[in-house]
Chain A
Amino acid sequence: MKLDQYRLTEEPAYHASGNEVAFYEAAYEARLPVMLKGPTGCGKTRFVEHMAWKLGKPLITVSCHEDMTASDLVGRFLLGPEGTHWQDGPLTLAVRYGAICYLDEIVEARQDTTVVIHSLTDDRRILPLEKKGELVHAHPDFQLVISYNPGYQSVLKDLKESTKQRFCAMDFTYPAAGIETAIVASESGVAPDVAGRLVRIAEKSRHLRGQGLEEGASTRMLIHAGRLMRSGMSLTDACRLALILPITDDPDMRDALEAAVDACA
């Protein structure tokens, strides 16, 4: 099989916070494209991996960046010993052979790039390869998933209305304290009470979102802090290393966060 390397062999751990698994399954059943919204590090990518594993489908992930062109997604001609030959891009691969294609941080890509997905996300389910003169009809297993961080202050960085309206959307936030504690504990291996304290610290930092911080500490950061603690670091140091210093360069905010860590320690 062409896509074997994209299959997940082990179950990616995922703690559901609500009905998202059932919702996703329903969307997949109808082969509707899905948009995952939420702050960075809250588990969007992990969720997609988990669902791909659960549904037994290969998963092709593309991290979008601002210089990405349509051919980076769709494919291009390459020069080979025999002359030129066509190389499918990740999106075409997924469309042709039936995978879940996950475009991470889609808003980063230029808006003219994102329009190539339009014909795939309505009832046509086709991908025209203009350069090659081919029209690829989507494999029945194909599904498109995009993620998107609505973020703070990004007035002008938004999806086109015509893109937005093709998707079902699922809103992700940081999991509830209990679930997040379980995640941090199981992913980093720290004791649940320590994980609970880390989660509380993260909550404090999330209160400052938009009040000096662009984003609060993510679940991913907590796991990092937990791993540092597993290797013998104190809570204060681990939080400094894994949370406070990465998140902000503003001395006042660092100071406030350190004091908040102290309050929770």
Chain B
Amino acid sequence: MPVPETMARDRSADLPAAVLAGFPGDALTGWLRARDRLRGAGYGSAVPRAFERSSVALAPLTGAEAATALADAVSTVAIRATPRIAERLCAVAEIAGRRMPEAFGDWLALIRRLAALAPESVAPLLDNMEMLTARLDLPGLEAWIMTGLRLGGRDADKRQSYFRLETPEALRLLELEAGGDSFVSMERRLRAYLTALYDITPPLRIAPPAGRQGAARRTSFAGGVLLVPPSLPGYRGAAEPLYRAALAHIGAHLRYSGRFPVGQLKPLQIAVVSLIEDARVELLAAREMPGLLRLWRTFHVARPGGLATAPSLFARLARALIDPDFDDPDGWIRKGRAMFLERRERWSDPAISREIGNLLGNDLGQLRVQFNAKDYVVQPAYRDDNLGLWDLGEDPPQDAEALEVMVDTVKLRRSDPAPGEAERQEQQAPAEETVEKVAPMAGDTEEGRVLASYPEYDYATGRERADWATVKAYPAAPGNPRFWEELREARGPLLSRVAGLIRSAEVGQARRQKRQAEGEVLDLDACIDAATALRSGQFPDHRVYERQAPPQRNLAVSLLLDISQSTADPVPGTDRTVLDIERDAAAVLAHAMDEMGDPFAINAFSSDGREEVRLTPIKSFDAPLDAAVGAALSGLRPGYSTRLGAALRHAGAELARVPRHRRLLLLITDGEPSDIDCPDPVYLVQDARRAVQGLAALGIDVFCVGLGPRNKEQEAAIFGGNGFIQIDRVSALPDKLPALYLRMVR
């Protein structure tokens, strides 16, 4: 029943002035009704009080209507969750209202939806709301929340940990929503860009999420590994040029920078030296590629003048050094630029960066400019954190993976997060490193059937050790009998494309068959011969036709899949593992080969020491491509290591028994040869090389399809310069493999 306006007026006498100002006229009636409803609902006195306070604060920002609507959300949360959380909602609503005044009504609706669907998650979400609203707009927030609900499914604990930002997905998705354009979506072309500019293919890794603070993010490089932030907050829509600028900058470092010993340098000096070094390498790179300066300069937005704080001075000096049109009145900046330009002739010498940096650093010290190393973030955003420039003085770890971890820890130390978090992240880091050597499969005690023993080549002694590696057959785990149906559903367009490709390939491969008894056209040579014969009184050959016919295919293929533990890694940009992609690719290719009528076998392998080279037969040469093959393919599980040589020898020995003119062994692998009992990385590489050579002598071509970024020299050593191809984007494998196959067997 509507409350008469006069009555509201009467009751307004004892109300604070702020309420009257925020809810003029009819709005007051609604507000009073909402308050009274909360008062009468038995949530205790704190809830209506909190509502009063917050709605009054919100009204000027969001308008009276939305501020009143807060009551509905409070009521829903109080019922679904607890009154205490409803009280908390009021306080958080004030923050949200300030951040997104226009969308506040929608924000409330979102909270009500969440309260209805997952009441337990309201509290953790509210705890993080301040950070979330700072980084996401409402559609982004909504997408992030809804994804969380979907990921969590019916598991309340899982949902809660998502909204507490404890799961990596929560952080990753947050970065994704916040940054707009993620690195993953651009990775391939950015990688190609870096390679094109500098002819380098360093490993690119996506940096672990920054954590709850949502700190400003920079690229980083150390030991040749590039760490790239998964997304760049604040550059929605413009992330690609920024990534490009960042990679072009790092490339310049990799080409022109050495490493400086840290020695006794203070953080301030390190920062200044790095800054000079940044400008130096950029200008050197620009001598060759002047367009890069144009790209970089767009990100230098520092204005002349302003406070003489360290961050401001640094940003301005950075701009002054690479932008001749930039004129700053500050004496320190002018001095820095003059010193830098004076040494133009010596720019190719990294020592000048230290020289100038030290002088300028001392000047800053004398000017008593404060420098807070902990909060310092390199500006502009495309520049890296310069960790890679400095020799940290500790023993540099040899391999890239360890270095990566080290860099991460240095970063953590530098960003100095909350104590609990550092611990958590450190625990996370080793968990992500999948060490292939210690990954036995649980519950797998069954002994495999011994198939054969093969020699192994020891490069150190230069001889083959007889019967060194034992290959055992392990049948695939029970798999999905509906594999082919599901593949057709998931990859339908691809399968039909491949079928089309095969049809057209067959047409393209048609050969002229001459001197046929029947055919489409006359064979001119045969006609002439016949005419010659006739005139010379001989009996002419009647086979004077020519026809197009598909060639006699005389080919056998053995497909060898690497299913070592590393194939359990997820493929960037998808929710699938490397093995999933390998499996699909093998299935699509098998389909293609079956259609062409080429005999083929499929085997999968892994290894657990020389006595345990585990081979899983999926299809033999004479078996049909049926549901059993599909089930075996889908039953593959990743595990163990990669003893390549023995697997190659076995598949090759099988293939050698097939009486075909051309025999091709096609290997799909994502890693390098390794095994638990081989500490020497070269040993298995040399053995694999030997195996490939041995097969070549038997007339078997071995071709390797490498997934992900590869060590090309090593591949070339094993398979020969033309014996391998690298597929960077693993997810593209099923599309590429059939085409590659057709090209190889043409």
Interface residues of A (CB under 8 A from B): 67, 69, 71, 76-79, 83-84, 131, 150, 152-158, 200, 204-205, 207-208, 210-212, 251-253, 255-257, 259-265
Contacts and interface: CB of A to CB of B under 8 A. Distances in A.
B18 interface: no
Contacts of A207: 195-199
Contacts of B728: 211-212
A262 B746 contact: no
Contacts, number: 109
B722 A84 contact: no
A35 to B, nearest CB: 17
Interface of B: 188-193, 195-199, 201, 244, 248, 288-292, 294-295, 511-512, 524-525, 527-529, 531-532, 535, 662, 664, 701, 703, 722-723, 725-726, 728, 740, 743-746
A173 to B, nearest CB: 15
B525 A79 contact: no
Contact of B743 (A153, A210, A264): A153
Nearest to B548: A67
A78 B196 contact: no
B712 to A, nearest CB: 8
Given A150-B722, A156-B701, A157-B746, A208 B528 contact: no
Contact of A205 (B196, B291, B740): B196
A77 B532 contact: yes
25 contacts: A77-B529, A152-B722, A153-B725, A153-B740, A154-B722, A155-B703, A155-B722, A155-B744, A207-B195, A207-B197, A207-B198, A208-B192, A211-B191, A211-B192, A212-B728, A251-B189, A252-B188, A252-B189, A253-B192, A256-B189, A259-B196, A262-B294, A263-B248, A263-B295, A264-B291
Interface centre among A152, A155, A210, A251 (most CB of B within 10 A): A155
Contact of B701 (A67, A155, A256): A155
Contacts of A158: 722
B290 A265 contact: yes
A37 to B, nearest CB: 13
Contact of A78 (B188, B191, B528, B743): B528
B193 A259 contact: yes
A260 B196 contact: yes
A200 B528 contact: no
A84 B662 CA distance: 41
B196 A256 contact: yes
B739 to A, nearest CB: 11
Nearest to B723: A155
Given A77-B528, A155-B722, A255-B193, 10 more contacts: A76-B528, A152-B722, A153-B722, A207-B197, A256-B191, A257-B196, A260-B193, A262-B294, A263-B197, A263-B289
Nearest to A205: B196
The 8 closest A-B pairs by CB, nearest first: A256-B192, A252-B189, A207-B199, A260-B196, A204-B196, A256-B193, A263-B291, A77-B528
Contacts of B723: 155
Nearest to B289: A263
Contacts of A153: 722, 725, 740, 743-744
Contacts of B199: 207
A128 to B, nearest CB: 17
Given A256-B189, A257-B196, A156 B725 contact: no
Given A67-B512, A156-B701, A212-B728, A79 B289 contact: no
B295 A262 contact: yes
A259 B244 contact: yes
